[in-house]
Amino acid sequence: MEIPYTTQPRPDTGIYNAKVGIWLFLASEVMLFGALFSSYILLRVGALPENWPHGLLNIPIGTFNTAVLIISSVTVVMAWASLKMNQFGRFKIYQAITVVCALAFLCIKSFEYHDKFTHYEVWKTDGTRMTGHIEGNPMFLTKPKLVAAGKDKIKFTADPHHYSESKMAGRDHHGEHKHYEIELKDIKRLSAFVPAHSTYFAIYFTLTALHALHVLGGALVIAFLFGPGSKMWHTEPERFTNRVEVAGLFWHFVDLVWIFLFPVLYLL
């Protein structure tokens, strides 16, 4: 006995097996990201306003990345529609654009990450705080690491405003960039904008990294269907079209998550 409804829809449910599977999987993904978004809310509600960074993410880049993903979610549908219209060549083009968009997104995101890894906050023993860059743009420095390296001071270029001053302060790059030499003994804590910096960056990196993993997974599947997997078109066109559809459903979900992530992390 063969497994039925792998390609043809079951008459009473109206869909084929894989489509049921992917919708169920997406339901569980909703719960996964739902739990993280809930955690975001709880952490934010519980945080003191001055400990919840604002405006440190680059909105133009984030917007651009949003646009990249939206374009890819259009092309992923066009790829499927091309197959439905029996235009394999156009399918290839659209599928390729989708993969390129996915890789572009990841590439841009990695630059954003790098920016954060070299951007620091210093909590001084006198109670003042400032954000900025350390000379030489090192990554992941902490006070214990500086102590271990035998340093006794750092050269620090401060941002014009600290994010705790107002909601928009972190976005203001036009003020004066002051240069300081800070003694290590005056530093209570020093952290780059890495997950350990604050609960905000913890949830930011967890959410976006998990999302990036989904982008990567989706890109691999879509690339497979573009490359070696597309041979199936010549033997079982309908089954291949279904595969493209299922991959597309997943891709839409990944895009949708970003549509929520962008305002929540960048704008609010």
Partner 1 sequence: MQATTHTKPHTGAHEAHHHEPGFWQKYIFSTDHKVIGIQYGFTALAFLLFGFGLMMCMRWQIAHPGQPIPVVGGLLEKVLGEVAKEGKMSPDLYNSFGAMHGTIMVFLAIVPLAFGAFGNYVVPLQIGAPDMAFPRVNMVSYQFYFLGGVVMFVSFFIPGGAAQAGWTSYSPLATTIPTHGQAFWLVGMVLLITSSLLGAVNFIATIIQLRAPGMTWFRLPFFVWAQFVTGFLLLLAFPPLEAAGVMQLMDNLFGTSFFLPTGLAVGGKLADISGGGSPLLWQHLFWFLGHPEVYVLILPAMGIVAEIISNNTRKPIWGYKSLVFSALAIGFISFIVWAHHMYLTGMGTKISAFFQTTTMIISIPSVIILTCLFISLWGGSIRFNTPMLFALAFLPMFGIGGLTGLPLGFAAADLHLHDTYYVIAHFHYVVAPGTIFALFAGIYYWFPKMTGRTMSEFWGRVHFWGSFIFMNVVFQPMFAQGMAGMIRRMADGGANYSTANNPDAIGGLSKGMMGLHTVILWGAVGLAVSQIPFIINLFYSIKNGRKVANDNPWEATTLEWQTPTPPPHGNFAHPPTVHRDPYDYSVPGAAKDFTPQNESEKAGKH
Contact 127, 188 (CB under 8 A): no
**Smaller CB distance to partner 1: residue 39 or 58?**
39
- Select from 55, 59, 95, 203 the one that contacts partner 1 (CB under 8 A): 203
The distance of closest approach from Cβ of residue 265 to partner 1 in the complex, given in angstroms and rounded to an integer, is 15
- The residue with tokens 């500086």 is 146
- Is 130 one of the binding residues for partner 1 (CB under 8 A)? no
Give the amino acid at 89.
Answer: G
- Select from 5, 113, 117, 224 the one that contacts partner 1 (CB under 8 A): 5
- Is 137 one of the binding residues for partner 1 (CB under 8 A)? no
The distance of closest approach from Cβ of residue 156 to partner 1 in the complex, given in angstroms and rounded to an integer, is 19
Convert residues 172-201 into a mask of x (bound to partner 1 by CB under 8 A) and - (unbound). -----------------x-x--xxxxxx--
Which residue, 13, 10, 14, 18, is CA-closest to 221? 18
Stretch touching partner 1 by CB under 8 A, among 9-17, 68-76, 103-111, 145-153: 9-17
- Select from 206, 239, 256, 264 the one that contacts partner 1 (CB under 8 A): 206
Residues 10-39 that bind partner 1 (CB under 8 A): 10, 13, 16-18, 20-21, 24-25, 27-29, 31-36, 39
Total residues contacting partner 1 by CB under 8 A comes to 44
**Smaller CB distance to partner 1: residue 91 or 193?**
193
Binding residues (CB under 8 A) for partner 1: these are 1-5, 10, 13, 16-18, 20-21, 24-25, 27-29, 31-36, 39, 42-43, 46-48, 51, 144, 189, 191, 194-199, 202-203, 205-206, 210
